[in-house]
Amino acid sequence: MDASVDVQPAVAPSAQSIAHSRIRELAEMAMAMDGVFKLYFGESSLPTPEYIKRAAQKAMADGFTFYTENAGLPSLRKALARYYSELHGVDLDPAGEIVVTASGVQALHLAIRCVLDPGDEALVLTPAWPNGSANVAMANARAVEVPQPLAGDRYQIDFDALEAAVTPRSRLLIYTSPSNPLGWVATVEEQRRLLEFARKHRLWLMADEVYERLYYAGEKPGKPAASILNLASREDAVIVIQSFSKTYCMTGWRLGWMVMRRDLAARAARLNEFVVSHAPSFTQRAGETALLWGEDEIRKMLAKYRENRDFCLAALAKMPRVTVPKPDGAFYLFPKISGMTDSFDFCKRLLLEAQVGLAPGVAFGAGGEGSVRICYASERPILEQAMARLSLFLQSR
């Protein structure tokens, strides 16, 4: 072989060290197969509502095909401020405290890049969607995972473990409520304690609230889960990550936003120039329409998800070796399967032998192994067949 091969540049070790998403790994296998019941991604089977699609078409026809501000269209930021005021009673400055992003995951990326330096540490409550920890690694920082223990039928926050995990390099604490994959929803008291903890240790507190509208325990259907913004002052080092994906069935559109302290928002908007510059202009216009007219659709969607959740919970309750707490939010169940120690292998065999695609618990970090994640935002006949096959699969072991 030519000696010059040895001196070819290599992919940077820091990029190579970012672990592949094990949800994707499983999904890639499933995508090469026919007839799979796909419950591995966090995505509704419902398409984007027509009124949102029409708004994007109209925006294009009206000429919204040019660059916008790095922080997003001022009209969308105003619509978001109105949304917070109506939904949470929280007053935000649309020009200074809201940054529109090209998805929730881009919001995570940008915010994490703005608060971590190489070598810093971020505490991450897990099991959690892996992209938070992966983005910490992408910033050449270190994710320190702190598992949420299950006590009785509710996941908790282990504040002693959090205290023990703090070091002089800790800069950030990330939690997700409602949680992916747990469906756990932080109480106001838990949020208060997280905020106190962050203030005491001078950490940024990042609340991933992308599932806030998928909340089943509110006094009224459609009431969001409690936001950290109800407790934080505008001087607090608090970051809220948000997305249109789950609430409006807009996963493919790539539209999200962040709420954050003014100085961080200004910096994030500036850095966005060098990442994607801004979210697509016609998508942003469609987002405004979604915020304005989405409430009826959200309530219909919630009713359907709640039925799906209850159906799956009842089915799982009859299966051997399965324990699963009843979640109050998001669209996931995270059953523990006793005796199962390799969730990736379990999901792979379930996929190949029964054509049911679930996400392996190990993908969600510390505390995830031993469980699988089921996304129930699907059609009822699909869930019925998937549950029947999972039951047979478990009985055959």
The region of 78-86, 100-108, 160-168, 292-300 touching ligand PLP under the rule CB under 6 A is 100-108
Task: Identify whether 280 is preceded by a cis peptide bond (ω within 30 of 0).
Answer: no
Would strands 256-260 and 322-323 be described as parallel, antiparallel, or unpaired? unpaired
Cβ-based nearer residue to ligand PLP, 105 or 146: 105
Give the one residue of 256, 280, 287, 361 binding ligand PLP; rule: CB under 6 A. Answer: 256
Give the residue among 144, 127, 156 at the shortest CA–CA distance from 368: 127
CA 342 to chain centre: 24
User: Judged by CB under 6 A, which of 44, 243, 247, 308 binds ligand PLP?
Assistant: 243
Part in contact with ligand PLP (CB under 6 A); list of ranges 24-32, 97-105, 119-127, 307-315: 97-105
Q: Is 180 in the site for ligand PLP (CB under 6 A)?
A: yes
3-class SS shares of the chain: helix, strand, coil, % to 5? 45, 15, 40
Residue 395 Cβ vs ligand PLP, minimum distance, rounded to whole Å: 31
Residue 191 makes contact with ligand PLP by CB under 6 A:
no
Q: How far is the CB of 257 from ligand PLP (least distance, A)?
A: 10
Nearer to ligand PLP, 206 or 337 (CB): 206
Interface residue with ligand PLP, options 49, 94, 104, 294 (CB under 6 A): 104
Closest CA to 185 of 163, 217, 158, 153: 217
**Ranges assigned E (strand) in the chain:** 37-38, 98-101, 121-126, 142-147, 150-151, 154-155, 170-176, 204-208, 238-243, 256-260, 322-323, 332-333, 336-337, 356-357, 359-360, 372-375
Q: Which two tokens stand for residue 319?
A: 């299966």
130 part of the interface to ligand PLP, by CB under 6 A? no
| CA dist 291 → 79, 207, 262 (Å) | 7, 21, 23
Q: Does 105 bind ligand PLP (CB under 6 A)?
A: yes
The runs of H, that is alpha helices, within 225-324 are 262-272, 281-293, 295-317
Q: Which of 68, 170, 227, 251 binds ligand PLP (CB under 6 A)?
A: 251
How deeply is 374 buried, as exposed, middle or buried, from its count of CB atoms within 10 A (0-12, 13-18, 19+)?
buried
The correct pick among 129, 197, 248, 257 for binding ligand PLP (CB under 6 A) is: 129
**Angle of helix 295-317 relative to helix 380-395, nearest 10 degrees?**
20
Minimal distance in Å, beta carbon 245 to ligand PLP? 3
The answer to the question of residue 332 lying near ligand PLP (CB under 6 A) is no
| Shortest distance, position 106 Cβ to ligand PLP, whole Å | 7
Give the interface size with ligand PLP as a residue count (CB under 6 A): 13
Q: Nearest approach, Cβ of 229 to ligand PLP (angstroms)?
A: 17
Please choose, out of 243-251, 356-364, 365-373, 389-397, the segment that lies near ligand PLP by the rule CB under 6 A.
243-251
List binders of ligand PLP among 159-178 (CB under 6 A). Answer: 176
- Interface residues toward ligand PLP, by CB under 6 A: 42, 103-105, 129, 176, 180, 208, 210, 243, 245, 251, 256
